Structure 1
Amino acid sequence: MFTGITTLTPFKKSLVFSYGIFSLFLSLLVFASGLYFYLIKDLNDQSQAAENALTHRMDEIFRELKHIVNDASLSCQKEDIGQLRHKVFYSPIFKEFGLFDDNFRVYCTNFGVNNFNIFSTIKDRIEQSEDHTTVSLVKSYILGEKTFIAFYLGKNGIGANGLAPPKSLSMDIDHLLLPDYPYELTIGKLALVSNELNMGSEILDQKNISLDDWAMTLKIILPSNVYWSKAMTLLPFGVVLWIVLWALSCALHWGFLYYRRSLPHCLRRAIRGNDMEVYYQPIVSLHDNKTHAMEALIRWRSPYHGQVSPLSIIEISGRLNLLGDLTWMVLRNVGQFYRENQKLLNNITTAVNVDRYCLLNEDFISTFTGILEEYPELKGRLGLEVTETSALSAIELPLMVSRFEHVKALDIRLSVDDFGTGYSGLDFLRRFPYDTLKLDRVFIASLKDDQFTQQVLTSITKLAKELNMKVVAEGVERKDQLDAVKELDIDSVQGYYFCAPLPYDQVLTWLVKNK
């Protein structure tokens, strides 16, 4: 089980504090930059909305002037004046209307007959305009201030002009931009509406929009005081962000530690770092009571999980596709074992378990040959124990035979491990060139009291002898089991009765004592 994760040691307390400082800095950075980019995006969005609103307002203005022109005549009778007054009364924008002819002479307004010429500069702009429209700023004696005025000349030779206070033109964009974004609306170089003079703060960003059809420019500003005002309003969210980042940082740290200490991850590192031990269990001959063979067995004590069972190692390695790496690690350890103890191990063979699907791998022979070249001491002294974990398909069967032939050609012994508990049958022994057959401990455990087991093992032993195979009984732990095995004419015994699996130094001592 994992240890040391829930107890806050001084180191971990300092780590939590460090994550608090780091997450505070990160949250300030994220909060400040996030708010800035949000306001920049909002400025762009509101600027686009303001441009659309102003364009829509100008379209309405000239649509209203076109309606006046369509209903107008070149006279300025009482009815004409009344009609203009009626238009002014119901206009949402204009406070004064006038009519002018194709000589650009204003001859009638809603106040009565008039007779004055439009400025030549305005006349030129109307004539040059594709739609015969233009706008300007003039001094209105009626409104008493500089006023927006729009001109339109119709195809019938009659033109209309309308005067409006600047506020009526900007009221559509006020609710979009104010109070956050001050703006200035100009016609030419003259300001029509300006509320950016008294901002009292620095400019963070601004947008400039040109409406060329009406010589208008809309400048929209993002002042710094808006940024700080929003920051104070959203400060509680910043605190929440800090707490979330702090918790996330700690969770990621502990999660990473958990992952590093998880059994699969530790197993992967142990295999690739050669951090496992190889134990050796002697196989004792019943003919001379001497040890001529051993089996290499993997053992591993994880720093976080304690002693891990070999079955768990094999099962997890299979899921992680690491059985090949595990096999190569064991083979290299056995090779080093023989290199360092050549004299003592000269007449002893050692078997290493190999999964069938490792043998079927296309890289098996080349990698295996490379290890034998790296450790030539293994030639003639190494055996492979193949466990019958699953049935072979019609495609896999000839491939497995080919692999076995390659292995035999390298002077390597072959054993079938745990015979009788998997998918093999008696025909299985005939198909493959095994040197040794190992009887599973399940049979040995019930050998004394089960007559049927005795008959089965007698038949298997006889067949193995006929096929020139040696027979090894696994799992012999008691004297009565040993006596029952001897009656079956089995060659060798492996089990705790003689010796448990031993680490490097202890097995050497055992071999010296039991020569």
Structure 2
Amino acid sequence: MFKSINSIMPSKKKCFFYYGFISLFLSVFVFMLGLYAYQLKDLENRAESAKNALTYRMNDIFLELKHIVDNSELSCEKEDIDRLRRMTFYSPTFKEFGLFNDNFRVYCTTYGPRDFAIFSSIVNRIKESSERKTVSLVRSHSLGESTFFAFYQGADGLGINGLAPSQVLAVDVDYLLSPDLPYELTIGKQTVVSSEYNHKSSVLAKRVESLDGWAISLVVFSPFSLYWGHLVSLLPFMFIFCLLCCLIFYTAHGGILYYRYSLPLNIKRAIKDNSIDVHFQPIVSLKAGGFHEMEALIRWHSPYHGQVSPLVIVETSERLGLIDDLTWMVIRKVGDFYREYPIQLKEINISVNVDRYSLLKESFAPNLEGIIAEYPELKGRLGLEVTETSALTVTELPLMVSRFEHIKALGIRLSVDDFGTGYAGLDFLRRFPYDTLKLDKVFIDSLKDDQFTRQILTSITKLAKELNMALVAEGVEREDQLDAVRALGVDRVQGYYFCRPLPKDQVITWVEKNATK
């Protein structure tokens, strides 16, 4: 008897433990990998933003210097000094200005007249710059600390330098990066600003940004300490994600099991309700004036499982002990088909597949006799196709011959289906010849190109003629296959070349159209 779904499904505790472990691993992996990717992207975006902010500040600095130079003279009178002091007062960046001439000597500052030369290295950088500007980091006597110097020289040779605390460059950078991302800001090889950061600490990643046209570089670090801190803060979300994954896995697992084990239940119900459809595939006679035949084939579209394979239906029916019920259902539907279309099917025989082990049952022939009494239209028209799925034992062989004799006495034809691929023995064929041998599609597919297959089919054809059996070639799909089986002397063909299995109303249309062909 078919077991219930609950008895087959694994225990809930075992499933929760198994999927809980997978969900935990997946949650940790996803969050760690996601946080890693996020932190790298965040480092890239914030470093880029800091670079842009630094670039804007440098452009503003040199616009300010250019404005002062454009309004200055090669003199250092009181009004010149006052103007420089006034510019210093209103400057957002600089604490001191100094004017220099085309010889690169400073002659005037906010503290009064001066006369000293600018370092040669700075002069060279000014001359090499296309816009006659550069920056430097020098210790200032006036500011008393490492000082940021910005130099600009106008087209007429008059130039200016501005002095500012080195930290002024890092105001915007610090706002964008601190306190999460440590950084270093350097001019040339000298560090302007370095946020508090232990260089011996492990770093997840770092990004280096260089300002085009300036000897300024910005190195931004993403420390592992930040990564672990964020990961710890995400633990509640990781736990929730783990639970959701566990529930999804468990629900999906239950759904798969339900689908798997509910399919047999639905097949059982469909057999009991006679809701499995029967389609019919014509077996075409190649003889002039010969009559066509048909094979009844099961088809079923489940409302829950979609189109279900006939092979699955048969295997499931065997497992559930319902294969005989399936056979009786198909035979009765063939009887109904004859009753519904008596004129169109007057000269057409129809075959039904039957399991050979069903034939061995003592009750099979009497039950079949009862159905023929119920449907007299089947007598002389019904055929049974027996698939040679396994060899008969010494005990089964005479029993099968006895069953066949009983069935033949009921006016029913017998065919061996898929001949050549199973275990049908020559001894059995000689003791009780079938009415028809059906050649399997495997042989038909390789008939054209395989000489060995051709020799086998030639022998089978000769055997069938000796035993007075008809031959049917299954699976003929192309014209070259049709020509090949015709050359062997096969006079009945079944396959998509002529017609696929069709519902009863469509196959009747086919019969009416091809009755005279």
> Per the shorter chain, which TM-score range?
0.5 to 0.7
CA–CA separation in structure 2 for the residues paired with 1:371 and 1:259: 44
Identify the residue that residue 104 of structure 1 maps to in structure 2: 104
SS of 2:429 mapped into structure 1: coil
More displaced 10-residue stretch of structure 1: 150-159 or 11-20? 11-20
Query: What residue number does 2:326 align with?
Result: none
1:259/1:77 CA distance change after superposition, 3 Å: farther
Query: Which of 489, 493, 496 is residue 410 of structure 1 equivalent to?
Result: 489
Number of positions where the alignment pairs a residue of Structure 1 with one of Structure 2: 383
Rounded to whole Å, the distance in 2 between the matches of 1:31 and 1:232 is: 11
Which SS does the other structure have where 1:149 is aligned?
strand
Q: How far 1:27 moved relative to its partner?
A: 1.8
Query: What is the CA–CA distance in structure 2 between the aligned matches of 1:404 and 1:140, rounded to whole Å?
Result: 104
SS of the residue corresponding to residue 151 of structure 1 reads strand
Deviates more, 1:17-26 or 1:122-131: 122-131
Paired position in structure 1 for 2:30: 30
Aligned to 1:381: 469
The residue matched to 1:423 in structure 2 has which SS? helix
Distance 2:455 2:31 in 1: 58
Q: How does 1:149-164 map to 2 (within 5 A)?
A: 149-164=149-164
The alpha carbon displacement at 1:231 in A equals 0.7
Deviations, residues 144-170 of structure 1 (Å, cap 9, x unaligned): 322111111111111111112222211
Residues 414-453 of structure 1 deviation map (CA, whole Å, 9 limit, x = unaligned): 899989971156674332xxxxxxxxxxxxxxxxxxxxxx
How far 1:21 moved relative to its partner? 0.8
Q: In the alignment, what sits opposite 1:423?
A: 509
Residue 83 of structure 1 aligns to which amino acid in structure 2?
Answer: R
Q: Kindly provide the amino acid, as one letter, of the partner of residue 231 in structure 2.
A: A
Q: Which residue of 1 aligns with 2:355?
A: 278
Q: Which residue of 2 aligns with 1:203?
A: 203
State the Cα distance separating 1:405 from its structure 2 match.
10
Q: 1:256 to 1:373 in 2, by over 3 A?
A: farther
CA spacing shift, 1:423–1:408, aligned 2, 3 Å = farther
How far apart in 2 are the matches of 1:43 and 1:64?
A: 31
Deviations 1:215-264 (A, max 9, x none): 22222111111011111222222223323332343355455556666565
Alignment of 1:452-467 (within 5 A): none
Letter in 2 for 1:342: L
Structure 1 position 168 matched with structure 2 position 168: yes
SS in 2 for 1:343: helix
Residue matched to 2:347: none
Aligned position for 1:241: 241
Counterpart of 2:210 in 1: which secondary structure?
strand
> Which letter maps to 2:176?
L
Distance 1:199 1:409, change over 3 A: closer
Whole-angstrom distance in 2 between the partners of 1:295 and 1:123? 107
- For 2:384, the equivalent position in structure 1 comes to 295
| Alpha-carbon distance in 2 for matches of 1:372, 1:137 | 97
The answer to whether residue 426 in structure 2 is matched with residue 349 in structure 1 is no
Amino acid at match of 2:227: Y
- Report the AA paired with residue 179 of structure 1: P
Would the aligned equivalents of 2:458 and 2:488 in 1 still touch at CA under 8 Å? no
Question: Residues 195 and 249 of structure 1: is their aligned pair in 2 closer, same or farther, counting only changes over 3 Å?
Answer: same
Q: Deviations over 1:323-379 (max 9, x none)?
A: xxxxx9942489744646223422x4148799xxx9xxx959869979856966656
- Deviation string 1:52-95 (CA, Å, 9 cap, x unpaired) is 22222222212221111111111122332232233223322222
Q: Distance in 2 between matches of 1:341 and 1:108?
A: 124
Change (3 A) 1:291 1:423: closer
Contact 1:96 1:162 in 2 (8 A): yes
Aligned-residue offset at 1:265: 6.5
Note the residue ranges of structure 1 that are not aligned, 5 or more in a row: 301-327, 387-395, 432-515
Q: Match of 2:16? A: 16
Change (3 A) 1:193 1:3: farther
Local SS of the residue matching 2:146:
strand
Q: CA RMSD in A?
A: 4.9
Matching residue of 1:440: none
CA distance in 2: counterparts of 1:256 and 1:193, whole angstroms: 61
Where 1:94 maps in the other structure, the secondary structure is coil
Residue 50 of structure 1 corresponds to which residue in structure 2? Answer: 50
User: Are the counterparts in 1 of residues 205 and 223 from structure 2 also a CA contact under 8 Å?
Assistant: yes
**Any stretches of 5+ residues in structure 2 without a counterpart?**
264-304, 324-353, 373-378, 390-414
TM-score w.r.t. structure 2 length? 0.60
